[in-house]
Chains A and B, each alone.
Chain A
Amino acid sequence: MHEMALMAGVFDIIRQYTTDLSDKNVTRVTLVVGEMTNAVPEALEAAFEVHAKGTPVEGAKLVIKDIPLVARCRSCGWEGKTEKHVFMCPGCSSFGMELISGRELYVESLEVE
């Protein structure tokens, strides 16, 4: 549900990066979204359409790059992809796992013409 608010943030960023350009027609927006965020891709797409309407972004392609959840064990140092949101170490069965990736939520790039 908060994807509308997240997308408002994306469009603020798009405006920041395109206001001084002569080519303002945005044709592609690439987002990076970690597995351990609460952002649902389908809801992001729907919010993107709503925000893009009537702007130079209308009709642009939204690319969402998923980043898997990777964690590292604080006890034995095991590192790897983790079962979705279950932070038990496959190496030593302990629970102290640090997140290495999966919390990303950023605009990577824009394509303008």
Chain B
Amino acid sequence: MEIKVNTGILSANEQKAVENRKLFKENGVFAINLMGSPGAGKTTVLEKTIDYLSGKVRLAVIEGDIYTSKDARRIEKYGVPVEQINTGGACHLDAKMVSGALSKFDLTGLDLMVIENVGNLVCPVEFDLGEDQKIAVLSITEGDDKPMKYPLLFRESGAVILNKMDILDFTDVDLEGLRKDIHIINPDIKIFEVSARTGQGIDQWAEWLTDRVKDTVK
């Protein structure tokens, strides 16, 4: 006997994501899902962003990591609320894990939730967490072919942070070609050239983010 099913494989995750999104909306919190390769500089960009937004935007952080809480420790030093999620082997966060972490925050006092996903260019993209915007972090040392090889992340992100611009001269990256490839995949994406080491370009990215946060009505 054949049974017609036609049910999305990710439908359970999507239902949870809808709940998370509702929770963010009810509390006027703008949420971003920060994704990129291991070592692209997600946490360092976040540290610089927290510095820049200090006193202007009330934010909290969810750190995704397979086993450790190293990144959460780093964020704690900045005095912002942070929750660690350990996926215990899984290469991505899912909406259920985020939902569990959300219950530990007082969302009413927040403007922005930053979720740093597990370092990985492939898997996290498929799992909606309920965020308002996906943000890609790509360090130029990874090579300029990465958008074409892993297009889905760039297709679905609202902005891409090109990090480690301070060491551009030591790479063979064709920056114009890289920007063009990203725009071929997603013409609407914002591109920020940043060095989380020197702080260069963090202001433009953080201002753009602040505008998105302000658009989210309390």
Is A bound to B?
yes
Task: Tell me the complex Cα distance, A5–B13, Å.
Answer: 11
Specify which of B9, B11, B152 is in contact with A31 (CB 8 Å cutoff). B9
17 A/B residue pairs, CB under 8 Å, sorted by A: A6-B10, A17-B3, A17-B5, A18-B3, A37-B126, A39-B126, A85-B151, A87-B184, A87-B187, A95-B183, A95-B187, A106-B7, A106-B11, A109-B2, A109-B6, A110-B5, A111-B2
Specify which of A1, A12, A109 is in contact with B122 (CB 8 Å cutoff). A1
Whether the Cβ atoms of A2 and B6 lie closer than 8 Å is no
Task: Report if A113 contacts B (CB, 8 A).
Answer: yes
Task: Tell me the complex Cα distance, A5–B97, Å.
Answer: 13
Task: Report if A67 contacts B (CB, 8 A).
Answer: no
Task: Tell me the complex Cα distance, A31–B3, Å.
Answer: 13
Task: Report if B18 contacts A (CB, 8 A).
Answer: no
Inter-chain contacts of B94 with A (CB < 8 A): 5
Task: Report if A38 contacts B (CB, 8 A).
Answer: yes
Task: Report if B92 contacts A (CB, 8 A).
Answer: yes
Q: A105-B9, A106-B8, A106-B9 are in contact. Are A23 and B122 (CB under 8 A)?
A: no
Inter-chain contacts of A105 with B (CB < 8 A): 8-10, 126
Task: Tell me the complex Cα distance, A108–B2, Å.
Answer: 10
Whether the Cβ atoms of B2 and A9 lie closer than 8 Å is no
Inter-chain contacts of A39 with B (CB < 8 A): 126
Whether the Cβ atoms of B187 and A96 lie closer than 8 Å is yes
Task: Report if A36 contacts B (CB, 8 A).
Answer: yes
Closest CB of chain A to B38's CB: distance in Å? 13
Q: A13-B7, A36-B152, A109-B5 are in contact. Are A2 and B185 (CB under 8 A)?
A: no
Q: A5-B90, A5-B92, A38-B125 are in contact. Are A109 and B3 (CB under 8 A)?
A: yes
Whether the Cβ atoms of B184 and A110 lie closer than 8 Å is no
Whether the Cβ atoms of B9 and A10 lie closer than 8 Å is yes
Whether the Cβ atoms of A107 and B122 lie closer than 8 Å is no
The 3 A-B pairs with the shortest beta carbon distances in the complex, nearest first, are A2-B123, A85-B151, A95-B187
Task: Report if B114 contacts A (CB, 8 A).
Answer: no
Q: A1-B91, A23-B1, A38-B126 are in contact. Are A13 and B9 (CB under 8 A)?
A: yes
